Structure 1
Amino acid sequence: MDEIYRNLVRLNEEWAEAGLARQVRDPESKYDGGIIHAETGVPSPNHLNTPAVMASWAGAFCNPDSRRYRDPLLLDAFEAAAGFMVNRQHADGTVSLGSTNYNSPPDTAFVVGGLSQVYRLLGTDGWREAEAAAQKVKLFLERTIPALLTGGAHTPNHRWVITAALAQLYEIFSLPELLDRAREWLAEGLDITEDGEWTERSNGIYNAVSNISLYHTARVMNRPELLDYVRRNLRMMIYLVHPDGDVVTDYSGRQDLGQTFDLSNYFLVCRLMAAHDRDPLMASLSDKAASYLSSYREGVNNHPMVGLLLFPSGLDGMGREPLPDTYRKAFNLGHPVREHLRLLEETGHHGKIQHSSMHYAFGFPVVRIREKDTSITMMAQAPSFFALRHGQARLLGVKLSSSFPPGVVPLEELRVEEDRYTFRTVMEKGYSGPIPAEILAGLPAREGASPWYLLPHQHRPVTHLQKHALGVEAVPVTGGWQLRVFSDEREDVFTQLTLVLGQEGTVEGDGVEEFAANRYFLKKGSVTYAAGPDRLEISGGVFDHRLGELRNDAWPPGCKYLHFNLLTPFDHTIELRLL
């Protein structure tokens, strides 16, 4: 029994115990058997709540290495929870996420992806006393089939979650139409770049969701080519980890943007892929992820204990290739972003999609630089274009805001030339002329008011179209980095460069003014940001205007903000020294 497995057995027992403390046991309650959600206080059948606890219980009482092996107390709790799942299942076979997504096929698929494994695990143990509970789980699964054969998705990753659920239902019920539906989803093609980035650019959450889903789809449907997409992303993730183990979330297209996530939800898929490929580097990444399992917060579809019990993936005897801690890597430089955006007009949806997002940032370049305890991220088409961690000192982002058009400026172009990284963007803003008479003549006649929203604005000619260019040049220098920001010759455009700093640090300097809580102008000179033993000296203060914020600007919550106020035209350099 290896150390990682022993630790996981212990952790799973702790998760099982914690679940018992939150279970509702009241026959008069509609929530009987459910697990109280820590945030809402309401039991939920979603994949992060009751089913996830059920997986921990099964992972304990089905495991001969666990102290709770064949524990009747856990089995009783499990059976009550299975009853809750059946009772809270909607008539159409779905469940609701709870926070949103009601009668949701994709959220049902998340649950199915895990409970199908739990059901199979119960069957492998041969404990007769668990048969009644297993049948309740099977009933729940069977009732989901109509919804998953007909239901749709919201997001790119939902397609692969549903596909994995259909495949794993096929393992139990052997209905060919389940695989037919899975093939319909797979026929859309995989939404990943050559360098391994998924559409949602979500290193904290949805990468791992897509990866584990495609692993099971490939396994059941005998589609080994699907594993190549998993490999690509995991190979990319090797370079998207900060020295403290946090994954890079600085440019995510989902809710993990700028939030703190570790590698724990990558543990299972890394281990499975390491065993499948006999890959010593992936084994090292799996070991690294295992060290964060105590903070595991993934759902039943990616449960580490159930996954190891059902899909043995021993790595004993396999060597380990050390994970790199010094590198410079650029991703997606060759991805045809411009060509894809050009083709957008030909798709016919005109950038409108119901219940989801277009994710236009997919495939834009990302640069990662690691020098031992210093970690740097640069990214195009993101709210922030530069982030740096130096030990405990965290520069969480650097962003540009402008009054042309008002708001945060996503820098669309990133060029890499040796040690020089250049961002550029050209913004446009024009005015709309009157709707042509021939278009108005074809509209239905209206009496009284002419509502603005009923006018065919798409036919207005553009007048006085204006353009404005901004750029940034990032260059490493001895002991730190220089960021040069520059504009075209247009005059008097209010611009603000903002450094987003970790809340835990302190800001001190002669040229700094705190004009609101945790918000500072660096009017001149330099300032020191310190966190623990680590410091950043930030120089190049400028105060060309007095505005504390520009229209339509936004800042991530819970940080400190250091502002440099610029007025076009400008060519200004700030320096970051690592102390």
Structure 2
Amino acid sequence: MNRRTFLSGGVTSLCLIQTARFPVFSQSSLGASVAKPDWLVDLVKGNDQQLITVRTLRITEATNPAFGGFKDWEDIPNPQTTSDFIRRACCAMACPESVHYRSKIILDETHLALQFLLKIQHFDGTLDLPATNFHSTPDTGFIVKRLTTAYSLLSRSGTPDMAGVLATFKSFLIRAGEALIVGGIHTPNHRWVVSAALTKLNTLWPDARYVARVNQWLSEHIDMDIDGQYNERSTLIYSPLTNRLLITIAKGLNKPELLDYVRRNLTMTLYYLHPNGELVTEASGRQDKAGVGTPEGYYYAYRYLALLDKNGEMAALCRQMEKTLLPKLIHYLDYFLNDPSIWRELPPSQPLPANYVKAFRKSGLVRIRRNGWDSTILSANPVWLTFHKGNAILQGVRMAASFFGKGQFLTESIDKQGDSWILTQSLEGPYYQTYPPETIAVDGDWEKMPRSNRKQSEIQRLQTRITIHEAERGIEAIIQITGTDGVPVAVELIFRPGGSFTGVSKHPTRDNAYLLSGSGSYTVQNDTITFGPGLQQHKGVLLRGALAPMDAPTVYLTGFTPFEHTITLS
């Protein structure tokens, strides 16, 4: 899709006022008098298309206890799918560009959905997340922070006969607010979810208790490290979420200092981009660890700060996402509709970082990018190296040795020496002597004679050192393993599925496994990674104590200690 020219004429008519750095617009109708830029109109129409699918999940049988609510794809009625419909429906009813603008049918379905939410809302105002959490303040906060915006959009839409719907809407939100001012949380980002939801409630119905609770959470300070990353290091899910939440709190409670955290994270994230537009996820501490994904969740924050700070790099990434990820931005339509300040034309683009070596020590990784290829070195992770070259992706290098069932390589640190990065591991494999006679269990119960009380002997040792540095058009890794001799070693080169190999041979007994003697290559579309030289001294690719193979095409290099081998990726 070609990005159309932005329309900016209608935005200036909104009577922009400046208050403590924040652009504030009037709360008048978002009707036809305000011209939306073309990218936003495309999102409104995309939301209409997605509503077709969402509405198939609606429970229409009047005798069903969940009548009016929405179920997930496993047929479980739940507040999350229901609130997702309400949010989308209010976006549609508020936009003249939507086929559902001021729709009586959609309004009625929204009212029934809200009545379902009220029905399943607990006495304390909380909701459940049926997959795992019950009477959950955080999951209530996730819903409230979006539905407060939906309420605002609907209230300004001019939809006929909406008064009764808004009354039900308000009852649900006010009851939820009572939970948010007292309830607890599970994870770091939950504090900001609850705080953003309370901030939005306070904007609609000011209450000193809402503000006091937000300030309680904020008194714990923002969980950001020196690299600019939040505690959970969740680049696909919770970092972009936290950025949106902090902007909401900053704007709603006039706390511009919170934007400094957002700036730092957005600046850091520019160095977490692969050449194909995907995000580095291997250092995440949450469920998106090693996931494949793109940065659409950051779009609102990048656009907001690009305009506020006149930042050309952030503007460039926004334009890139508009060209390549526009359908994925539909999920955030309510953010865009409710904030006309971001409808303005972006500042001129500046080149994104594409040629750098940058260490993020708190996150335990080093990023190397040279325009069309990039590599990530990782600590505290069985995957200690990745290599991306366009669509051809080596998603992980792992290594294990058959050493007392604990030979999976894992480095605790990445040390810089000159132009190289050093990864190390030291292992011991002891044997144990007879138990001290005076404390032998009378009944001979082994569990009553802990091994820690036995003297060690015949201690075996294994030291691993990996030296990584740039080579011509790529990366070179020198692997050295010393100590006990004759230990089988297997190095895994794990590729993302979808490509074709040359130079490798199929493993005789393992699926999706290949052996390498010379040089190999892996090609996806027009992109090729070359790797090698290989090493094939045995066929033991699933060693005792090693992690299970990944469900991906994997090339193995095998040998014995003392082991020394150099792998080049380009």
| TM-score of the superposed pair, with normalisation by structure 2 | 0.84
The change in CA–CA distance for 1:433 and 1:205 in structure 2 (over 3 A counts) is farther
- 2:520 pairs with one of 523, 527, 533: 527
CA distance in 2, matches of 1:53, 1:13: 11
Specify the alignment match of 1:10 in structure 2.
45
1:295-316 CA distance string (max 9 Å, x none): 5389xxxx52211221222353
The change in CA–CA distance for 1:550 and 1:176 in structure 2 (over 3 A counts) is farther
Q: Do residues 189 (structure 1) and 221 (structure 2) align?
A: yes
Contact kept, 8 Å, 2:355 with 2:371, in 1: the verdict is no
1:526-559 CA distance string (max 9 Å, x none): 2222222322232232234442212343357431
CA distance in 1, matches of 2:407, 2:66: 46
- 2:530 pairs with one of 534, 537, 540: 537
- 1:272 pairs with one of 304, 307, 324: 304
Q: Do residues 385 (structure 1) and 384 (structure 2) align?
A: yes
**Deviation of 1:418 (Å):** 5.7
Contact kept, 8 Å, 2:59 with 2:66, in 1: the verdict is yes
The change in CA–CA distance for 1:293 and 1:59 in structure 2 (over 3 A counts) is farther
Specify the alignment match of 1:124 in structure 2.
156
- Is 232-241 or 545-554 further displaced after alignment? 545-554
Number of positions where the alignment pairs a residue of Structure 1 with one of Structure 2: 533
Q: Look up the SS of the partner of 1:96 in the other structure.
A: strand
Q: Do residues 172 (structure 1) and 214 (structure 2) align?
A: no
**Deviation of 1:98 (Å):** 2.3
- Is 124-133 or 392-401 further displaced after alignment? 124-133
Specify the alignment match of 1:223 in structure 2.
255
Specify the alignment match of 2:57 in structure 1.
22
CA distance in 1, matches of 2:58, 2:494: 41
Specify the alignment match of 1:423 in structure 2.
423
**Deviation of 1:457 (Å):** 7.3
Q: Look up the SS of the partner of 2:77 in the other structure.
A: coil
Contact kept, 8 Å, 1:511 with 1:525, in 2: the verdict is no
Contact kept, 8 Å, 2:317 with 2:352, in 1: the verdict is no
What aligned pairs does 1:76-475 form with structure 2 within 5 A after superposition?
76-127=108-159, 129-296=161-328, 303-314=331-342, 316-324=344-352, 326-333=354-361, 363-404=362-403, 406=406, 408-417=408-417, 419-427=419-427, 452=447, 468-475=462-469
1:76-103 CA distance string (max 9 Å, x none): 2211221222222233322222222222
Q: Do residues 44 (structure 1) and 43 (structure 2) align?
A: no
**Deviation of 1:110 (Å):** 0.8
The change in CA–CA distance for 1:174 and 1:319 in structure 2 (over 3 A counts) is closer
Contact kept, 8 Å, 1:267 with 1:290, in 2: the verdict is no
**Deviation of 1:401 (Å):** 2.3
Tell me the amino acid that sits aligned with residue 377 of structure 2: M
Contact kept, 8 Å, 1:97 with 1:104, in 2: the verdict is yes
The change in CA–CA distance for 1:76 and 1:537 in structure 2 (over 3 A counts) is same
**Deviation of 1:317 (Å):** 4.3
Q: Look up the SS of the partner of 2:204 in the other structure.
A: helix
CA distance in 2, matches of 1:436, 1:271: 69
Q: What's the Cα RMSD here?
A: 3.2
CA distance in 1, matches of 2:394, 2:490: 17
Contact kept, 8 Å, 2:46 with 2:327, in 1: the verdict is no
**Deviation of 1:447 (Å):** 12
Contact kept, 8 Å, 2:306 with 2:347, in 1: the verdict is no
Tell me the amino acid that sits aligned with residue 413 of structure 2: E
CA distance in 1, matches of 2:77, 2:446: 46
The structure that has the greater radius of gyration is 2
The change in CA–CA distance for 1:456 and 1:513 in structure 2 (over 3 A counts) is closer
Specify the alignment match of 1:348 in structure 2.
none
CA distance in 2, matches of 1:525, 1:148: 62
**Deviation of 1:423 (Å):** 1.9
Contact kept, 8 Å, 1:83 with 1:136, in 2: the verdict is yes
Contact kept, 8 Å, 2:504 with 2:514, in 1: the verdict is no
The change in CA–CA distance for 1:130 and 1:407 in structure 2 (over 3 A counts) is farther
- Is 161-170 or 547-556 further displaced after alignment? 547-556
Specify the alignment match of 1:340 in structure 2.
none
**Deviation of 1:468 (Å):** 3.8
- Which segments of 5 or more consecutive residues in structure 2 lack a partner in the other structure? 1-35
CA distance in 2, matches of 1:175, 1:418: 58
- Is 168-177 or 263-272 further displaced after alignment? 168-177
Specify the alignment match of 2:9 in structure 1.
none
Contact kept, 8 Å, 2:246 with 2:258, in 1: the verdict is yes
**Deviation of 1:432 (Å):** 8.9
- Is 214-223 or 321-330 further displaced after alignment? 321-330
Tell me the amino acid that sits aligned with residue 320 of structure 1: P
| TM-score of the superposed pair, with normalisation by structure 1 | 0.83
